[in-house]
Amino acid sequence: MKNNLALYLVLSFVVISLTSFQTVPTEKAKKFKVVIDPGHGGKDPGTRGSYTLEKDVVLKVALKVGKYLEDLLDDVEVIYTRKTDSYSHPKIDAEIANNAEADLFVSIHANAMPPGNAHVRGTETFVMGTKNEGRNFEVAKRENSVILLEEDYKEAYQDFDPTSPEVNIMFSIMQEAYQENSIILANNIQTQFEKRAGRKNLGVKQSSLWVLWNTAMPSVLVELGYLTNPKEEKELNSDEVQDYLASAIFRGIRDYKKYLESTK
């Protein structure tokens, strides 16, 4: 009887130890956090086509990207900066990503050209950069312009002047660590846009985009297509094309994650 009691105690101890050991969080259990940022929202419509607002079409695609990630990868946590037509403040968006200590930040937008350029179409993915040449500067101006909607923007954004030498130096120190991975992800997404979604690939570009500048992790800003191109505007409103675009972004993220795991 004594022996049985001793055995019982030993076994209980072993079981309790094993159970508690299993509940200790391991490195493997850590979720890969992806912040999905549908551009604009609420009072900020973004750019527009003849009948489409950027904020609406990017929200639809963003929700689909999140759903693909949640349904098809079990160790990923999706964090949205907005899930409805609410105002999405770039400063808050960056803070959401930083506070969550996210592994990736993916901002989703749609593009536009000035009148007379309706033929321009295709997808682009931006990473943070300080060289703003030609069209990239136009995109930076437009995507950053939401900042001007803020009453206190001068105070809130006073540090952001990508043309200043100090910012260039700070950028090279702070962002260098993320830049290489941001470019890998951006290339993955552009490849998938072309192969998976059959979209025109305008390539990976660099631009001084406020939201990318303020996120402390690999970050990209995706332009799904041009709302000023009538054919592309129609396509961007199609549920099927939205699915393909979302699937392409999902695959780009999935391949990036695989790449990270292969280099561990």
Give the residues lining the site for Zn ion (CB under 5 A).
39, 46, 109, 143
H-helix segments, 31-124: 54-72, 90-99
Counting beta carbons within 10 angstroms of the beta carbon of residue 194, is it exposed (0 to 12), middle (13 to 18) or buried (19 or more)?
Answer: middle
Of 103 and 182, CB closest to Zn ion = 182
Contact 108, 36 (CB under 8 A): yes
What distance in Å separates the CA atoms of residue 211 and residue 56, rounded to the nearest whole number? Answer: 19
Q: Which of 175, 185, 196 is nearest to 258 (CA)?
A: 185
Give the whole-angstrom CA distance, residue 80 versus residue 207.
23
To Zn ion, the closest distance from the beta carbon of 109 in angstroms equals 3
> Which residue lies nearer to Zn ion by CB, 46 or 162?
46
Least distance CB 108 / Zn ion (angstroms):
8
- Judged by DSSP in three states, 239 sits in helix
| Position of minimal CB gap to Zn ion | 109
What number of CA atoms fall less than 13 Å from residue 183's CA on the CB side? 9
Minimum gap (Å) between residue 113 Cβ and Zn ion: 14
Shortest gap between Cβ of 40 and Zn ion (angstroms)? 6
Least CB distance to Zn ion at residue 206 (A): 17
Report the nearest approach of Zn ion to the CB of residue 136 (Å): 14
- Closer residue to Zn ion in complex, CB, 90/129: 90
How far does CA 27 lie from the centroid of its chain?
24
State which residue, 103 or 232, has the beta carbon closest to Zn ion.
232
DSSP 146: G
Q: For Zn ion, which is the closer residue by CB, 76 or 220?
A: 220
Closer CB to Zn ion, 64 or 109, in the complex: 109
104 vs 140 by CB, closer to Zn ion: 140
Residue 73 beta carbon to Zn ion: minimum distance, rounded to whole angstroms: 26
Tokens of 170: 């700070």
CA distance 59 to 45: 11
Question: Strand order in 104-111's β-sheet?
Answer: 76-80, 32-38, 104-111, 219-226, 123-128, 201-207
